[in-house]
Amino acid sequence: MLALGSHRLLVVIPAFNEERRIGAVVRGIRDALGMDGDIVVVNDGSRDATSARAREAGATVIELPFNLGYGSALRAGYFYALKKGYDIVLQMDGDGQHDPSAIPALVQPILGGRAHVVIGSRFLGAASYAVPLARRIGQRLFSRILHALTGKEITDPTSGYQAIHRDVFSLYVSDEFPSDYPDADVLLLLYYRGFSFCEVPATFHSGEKGKTMHAGWKPVYYVMKMLLSMLMVAWRHRRYARRKTGCEL
């Protein structure tokens, strides 16, 4: 069980047409957290009963007027966390791929003052996770670029399973946070802004094909967009002083 002490934790779950799984996701998180932490589901314009299922399971629901995209749904959760005075955001997907058992491991480095962002990696530890070839190629490419620019080894730069310190999600509500695909480019932004980040092992489950928020995105467009975004972040922040990157606050 996670001991938060005086820290306030909010779990933010962007969800789009997840009525079949969102209830189980919310209940699994509640089992992992016990009485600590709150859960908010950001309904990103779903056309099904996602909101009803989330409320039945005990989550607060933020309703977006129409489908704004993954990054915008996350930003809505960050705004809510800031307004309500939370210290840590734990973000995870609503399709059941992120196993809640990893939540304590993700939050602990932040509680201990050792990191601003902790990433749950599907490629660390003994567990294996099958990733489509195109996406895996993109992940390896982004990892190499991050290492070349930062010297930091990140095995899973596209993981959306993260724990985030208040100082960071205060930055994420700005226009610098992408509205569509916040992945490796955001880690690069953190590096140039002097925030520390690291990875911990996390178990991922295979989702139902074609039913997640990411379904239908063209892999080639995603890779090209991310490469361009990383280039722009590096160019815009090239004058920023470098401080810390690892779990070493």
77-108 residue pLDDT tens: 999 999 999 999 999 999 999 999 999 999 99
> Which has more pLDDT, 172 or 242?
172
> What is the pLDDT confidence band of residue 133, given thresholds at 50, 70 and 90?
low
- Helix locations, the chain, DSSP H: 22-33, 50-56, 70-84, 103-111, 133-150, 166-172, 184-192, 219-236
Sign of CA dihedral 110, 12, 181, 65: negative
Q: In whole numbers, what is the pLDDT of the chain averaged over residues?
A: 86
Residue 201 has pLDDT above 60, yes or no: yes
The mean per-residue pLDDT over the stretch 56-84 comes to 96
Task: Give pLDDT tens digits for 136-184.
Answer: 777 888 899 888 888 889 999 989 999 999 999 999 998 888 777 778 8
Domain limits, the chain: 9-236
Distances, alpha carbon 172 to alpha carbons 26, 166, 197, 198, in Å? 24, 10, 15, 18
pTM higher than 0.75:
yes
pLDDT of residue 131: 67
CATH architecture of 9-236: Alpha-Beta Complex (3.90)
Q: Is the pLDDT of residue 195 over 90?
A: yes
Q: Which helix (H) or strand (E) holds 91?
A: strand 88-91
So what's the pLDDT on residue 249?
A: 45
